[in-house]
Amino acid sequence: MMPDAPLAAATAILGVKPLTHAFVAEITGLDLTRPLASETVAALERAFLAHPVLVFRDQKLARADQVRFSRYFGDLDVSVNRQYHGDDFPEIHTVSNLDADGRPLPFEKLANPGNYLWHTDGSYQKRPPRASLLYGVEIPKAGGVTSFASLHDAHESLDAAQRERIAGLKLVHSWVQSRLNSGSRPPTEEEIRNSPPVTHPLVRTHPETGRKALYMGIHGSHIEDMASEESTALLAMLVEHATREEVVYNHHWRAGDLVMTDNRCVLHRGAPDYGGAAEPRILHRTVVSGDAPF
């Protein structure tokens, strides 16, 4: 089923407002603290196929509200990184610029700067997550943008020779290598055991729409059966192509925003430019379980 069909069905029930890029839309008229009818959830699913980044403004979500809403879309994952776990809701991963005493940190002192590099959540898992939902709890007055790029559009905008070159290639994804690449704190032995390297297609097929998408980012280690220098150069080229300024959607956060992202076909990253790190930036993330890429 191609995106036009689910979009038409969804807009009959929801307010669906496309934003600056076709892969992004704002959903209006919903209070996510209230239970949703099955017809509304089905319409959201259809909108999500048409627009793999959905924005919900002006929400007032407690942790339980976010967990309940996220579960409409599947089971929830718990992060490999135990530092992100909430005390009361382990499904909530806190993403912030705060130290252990609650003070904002500059980018160069963050323990986990990988969030500020292009990635798709959990690609280092055998069954990477289907979707991520980020909720703006505390937002600085300036900066703190999150950027999104369509990996469907990136694949489709390659020329025929480039698409032929990468068809069938396999990319090794490694959480441990990702942490080294990003300068994050070293992983614990338990984290290493819980997250061994995995291999996925460099070009994956969306299981619901059938569209092809590039599938790479900071969690990508190397392309199988390819010389290291060639692999590094090819991956760098593909990320640069996918994240050209003119194709990127930059989300300027307001407290109460919820952004839902399809990890199967979207790259994202935060921007470490929030008020010179003088103000807190706190997001709550939930992650919906997915299937093995093919």
CATH superfamily, domain 4-288, is Clavaminate synthase-like (3.60.130.10)
pTM of the model as a whole: 0.90
Residues 181 and 97: their CA atoms lie apart, in Å, by 19
| Contacts with 125 (C-beta within 8 Å, 6 or more apart), sequence order | 195, 198
Q: How confident is the model at residue 84 (pLDDT cuts 50, 70, 90)?
A: very low
8 Å CB contact between 119 and 218: yes
The CA-based angle 239-244-246, given to 5 degrees, is 155
Does the pLDDT of residue 271 top 90, yes or no?
no
8 Å CB contact between 122 and 263: yes
Residue with tokens 């990136």: 154
Q: What is the pLDDT of residues 94-148, one digit of tens each?
A: 998 888 888 888 777 777 777 889 999 999 999 999 999 999 999 988 888 999 9
173 or 273, greater pLDDT: 173
Instruction: Tell me the mean pLDDT in the region 231-238.
Output: 97
Residues 210 and 123: their CA atoms lie apart, in Å, by 19
Q: What is the pLDDT of residues 162-186, one digit of tens each?
A: 999 999 999 999 988 888 878 788 8
Q: What is the pLDDT of residues 23-52, one digit of tens each?
A: 999 999 999 999 999 999 999 999 999 999
280 or 128, greater pLDDT: 128
Q: What is the pLDDT of residues 45-72, one digit of tens each?
A: 999 999 999 999 999 999 999 999 999 9
